[in-house]
Chains A and B, each alone.
Chain A
Amino acid sequence: MSENSRALKLAEANQKLAHKRRNAKEKWGIVLDTSKCIDCKACTVACKMENYVPVGFYNYRIWVAEDTHYANYPTISRSFQPSQCQQCENPPCVHVCPTHASYKTADGVVMVDADKCILCKYCMTACPYDARYESHTTEAIDKCTFCYQRREEGRDPACVETCPPKVRVFGDLNDPNSEVYKLLAENEYTVLKPGKGTKPKLKYIK
């Protein structure tokens, strides 16, 4: 089986799984402490492997950006900011989609139904985070799914699981016993582009 057909099979399986989990009560999110990030790209590579995102094209579900706060030798300050789809509670990509290909699962994960996608790219324009790409394998717009295929086994998304310093913590934002809930209770945090009103479920510890 080719890499392309594996990618298609995964996309289909995730649609079925989303349907199966239509009564799920969780609200999945990720809390990030980016100060630990060393830009090693374990997350981006793991994501490509897990989700059959092809190499060599300008496509990706997650990324690591560099912030150079100042660089005037010998005074340097730099840090790294890993990111991905913000899994917005109020997702503009879903609102603009004319065919309802983009949708939110019961547990709050924004996904794309490849069958319904007509590649109009409205969603790519609407997304304030540049988190979507055109996939040549599914011939649809694709994006981070929080590795939805791992929900049944309760495993962390590939980026979370593989990260060396554990920059990301994944969990149920509704569950007071979850690590993500506790982290948010104990730390000040922010979201990306709060002014857009998208209510991201990726929370960045300050």
Chain B
Amino acid sequence: ASEHGKQSKESGSKTVPSACAICVNKCSLFADVKDGVIHKLNPNHNFFKSRSMLCARGNVGAKVPYSPDRLKKPLIRTGKRGEGKWKEVSWDEAYDYIIENVIKLINKYDNRSSIAFASTEGLQEEFFRHLTSVVGSTNSVRHPTLCLASNIQGYSSVYGTLPDADIANAKFVVMAGSNRAEAFITPDTIDLAKKHKEQTFVYLDPRATKSAALADKWFPIKPGTDMAVVLAMINVIISEELYDKEFVNKYTHGFDQLKEHVKENTPEWAEKESEIPADEIRWMARKFAENAPASVWYPGRRSSFTANDVYYRRACAILNAIVGAWDRKGGLIPKSGISLKSHEFIFPLYDRVKNRIDGGKVNFAADILPEYIKSNKGMPKDEVAYLSEADGSWVLFRDAILKQKPYPVKGMFVYKQNPVESVPNRSKTLEMLKSMEFICTIDIQMSDTAWYSDVVLPESTYLERWDPAHSLGGVAPVVIFRKPVIDPLFDTKSMKDITVDLTERFLKKEEFWVDAWEEDKAYMRDYVKTFKGVPMSHIIEHQLSDYPGAYKMLMEKGCFYKTDKIPYGKTLKEGARLKTKTGKIELASVRYPEAGLHALPVYQKPSEAPQGKYRFVVGRHAQFTQANTQNVPYLLEAYGHYTNMLWIHPKSALKQGLNDGDYAIVKSSVGEQKVKVHVTEYTRPDTVFYLHGFGRLSKWLTNVYKVGASDAEILEDYAETISGNALLHETFVEIKKA
């Protein structure tokens, strides 16, 4: 292959159905391919979940396989970590290197869990998780605790699940921090933009983002006080008897406790906390009840705000419940899915395995809490109360590795994730990587984490490979898949192939199996046989075999669904039970007090900014997916600035002696960054912001290497101890002219 990849021998035009992979939404698309080159990716009009759209990021996917910054061959580090010296090797050489190191580590530490596995979501992630099981480590860590773990926990404690919102039919929508105009979620973003003339949309955010442009009212809420507003709305709805009495009686548990709990939370009290006028809060509460069940306090995310985030999300869920805006048109709707057949594998049961490093009692768990909340009885101090065994808690996980407690973790596989840029406190992540004896990263580009790795495996892009069928859960579920739009341009493989190849090689190493049972090897030979040389189309046919005609529909229409109608009221039918302890909507939690937590959402006043400092908030932009797409020239051009900038209010800029276009040093307790100043009325005077994903450390991200500022570098690494979610709005910064 040349620098530009293999030249295609195809001629003529073809249209290929597949699905986008630039962000989490996985929108179905049709690729226009001309003479073997991707000309254009177009939206699939059968795919109702995206409302027939393909966003800017989806469109640039057409250029992703041709990026000069792509990883084109396996690489082994030759210089020091992070020095950027690599040699291109064959896949065999890379595999040998990996196998040797994995076996060395397992033997040295007598523990398979001494190797960690970090990954993020995607249709090939399951194969990475298979690799975790083949190696036998318990230490997997995924994206949810950098994202929505607290949200899942909060809503699930009330409803037994994290629901979606029926934005298309809602009449009154409140979004607090969920910047849906810039952080795309299908179909909510599109429905909000389409329907905003017919619905009342109230937007709470310290910044006037592009979502504020759609809003009927924008309130620049004081960060960290969202819960005060929710509690006050509940207070008004209960005290003015605007709640849905029949619904509350029939479907909920703990209303009397709730009523007592919010007694003091008047709009006047909430005004002092949030700086939103009491009359406006009262208006919101009345309108919320009036429009119910077509009312939504949007269950969105932007990670966790502050340390009481799980309680805050509980409060949001409760607000929707008391007006009966649950599982009815225009309210919160439990997600549904289309269940696909899967292969059930039996993975080895090894002896040399230890429990998760961040699981169970962790005596330094309180260290991840911000100081002001440590005395709060509702926050566990010696564990993460609801740690997910599959996902872990990134912040605590990294601390445990650095402390080597209760045991050393010295190897790491990273798939598609980029902890260097996605976990708060970048210096600490680099320190963790430094402590590793072996790091293997699998990606399509040289992420910052890949840059500090020992071996880098290039994955085929989503347009060059088959991916299994996948049900996108939601108010109306739909199945998508991927097939190659073009042949791989370079010497790359899919994660599936990598896992199968490595498993095959482990099978040849006797020393790998000394702590396994004899059957385990047979199971793993079966595993290899399931995938080796078997076309993915056969696997997809098997996945869909419960649904006659589904495979054909998927291949022709690019997606498969049974109906695009929303099935309202499944959980409200006679005899239906929610996945909560009482089977009802738990306004007061039954489980939480058993775990030493509050049964009801207790408000915690956020810490005040120390003198001369500003609260730093994070946020999204419609051109960028986490830290993945900042290096794409078309997106930088569409974004318009080629670097990120510090949003600061004119009054604060004056105080700091800063003018628009100046450079400033932004400094927190963990790091500092230099960034261009953007003086704007679109933010609170006490709050500053700059965009995620700039100021990168990998030289192979040529357009953003050391361009602008990294937020991971300055974000302090707090997390809450109920779900283990990182807290992204607990950092205060000093700002000085550079």
- Known A-B contacts A45-B638, A161-B42, A165-B194; A38 and B213 likewise in contact (beta carbons under 8 Å): yes
- Known A-B contacts A72-B681, A158-B40, A162-B42; A42 and B54 likewise in contact (beta carbons under 8 Å): yes
Residues of A close to B60: CB separation below 8 A: 45, 49
Query: Does B214 belong to the interface (CB within 8 Å)?
Result: yes
Main secondary structure of the interface of A (DSSP, over half): mixed
CA distance A25 to B212 in the complex (A): 43
Residues of A close to B576: CB separation below 8 A: none
Query: Does B286 belong to the interface (CB within 8 Å)?
Result: no
Main secondary structure of the interface of B (DSSP, over half): mixed
Query: Residue B43 contacts which of A74, A78, A162 (CB distance < 8 angstroms)?
Result: A162
Query: Residue B55 contacts which of A36, A55, A80, A164 (CB distance < 8 angstroms)?
Result: A164
Residues of B close to A45: CB separation below 8 A: 56, 59-60, 634-635, 638
* Contact yes or no, A164 B51, CB < 8 A: yes
Query: Does B196 belong to the interface (CB within 8 Å)?
Result: yes
Query: Does B124 belong to the interface (CB within 8 Å)?
Result: no
Query: Does A41 belong to the interface (CB within 8 Å)?
Result: yes
Q: Mark B45-70, 1 if CB is under 8 A from A, else 0.
A: 00000111111101110110000000
CA distance A162 to B55 in the complex (A): 7
Query: Does A40 belong to the interface (CB within 8 Å)?
Result: yes
Q: Mark B658-683, 1 if CB is under 8 A from A, else 0.
A: 00000000000000000000001111
B587 to chain A, nearest CB (A): 33
CA distance A74 to B40 in the complex (A): 42
* Contact yes or no, B681 A71, CB < 8 A: yes
* Contact yes or no, B212 A162, CB < 8 A: no
Query: Does A48 belong to the interface (CB within 8 Å)?
Result: yes
* Contact yes or no, B59 A80, CB < 8 A: no
CA distance A49 to B633 in the complex (A): 13
A114 to chain B, nearest CB (A): 20
Query: Does B622 belong to the interface (CB within 8 Å)?
Result: yes
Query: Does B208 belong to the interface (CB within 8 Å)?
Result: yes
* Contact yes or no, A73 B190, CB < 8 A: no
* Contact yes or no, B214 A38, CB < 8 A: yes
Q: Mark A44-86, 1 if CB is under 8 A from B, else 0.
A: 1110111000011000000000000001111010111000000
Q: Mark B626-645, 1 if CB is under 8 A from A, else 0.
A: 00000001110111000000
CA distance A36 to B634 in the complex (A): 23
Query: Does A39 belong to the interface (CB within 8 Å)?
Result: yes
* Contact yes or no, A164 B53, CB < 8 A: yes
* Contact yes or no, A44 B218, CB < 8 A: no
Q: Which residues in chain B, 156-214, are within 8 Å of chain A measured between CB atoms?
A: 181-182, 184, 189-190, 193-194, 196-197, 208, 210-214
Query: Does B26 belong to the interface (CB within 8 Å)?
Result: no
Query: Residue B56 contacts which of A36, A41, A72, A78 (CB distance < 8 angstroms)?
Result: A41
Q: Which residues in chain A, 149-197, are within 8 Å of chain B measured between CB atoms?
A: 158, 161-166
Query: Residue A46 contacts which of B59, B184, B633, B680 (CB distance < 8 angstroms)?
Result: B59
Residues of A close to B53: CB separation below 8 A: 42, 162-166
* Contact yes or no, A41 B638, CB < 8 A: yes
- Known A-B contacts A35-B197, A49-B40, A79-B213; A55 and B681 likewise in contact (beta carbons under 8 Å): no
If A1-B35, A49-B39 are given as contacts, then 13 extra A-B residue pairs at C-beta distance below 8 Å, sorted by A number, are A39-B181, A39-B622, A40-B182, A42-B58, A42-B59, A48-B634, A73-B220, A79-B213, A158-B40, A158-B42, A162-B53, A163-B53, A165-B51
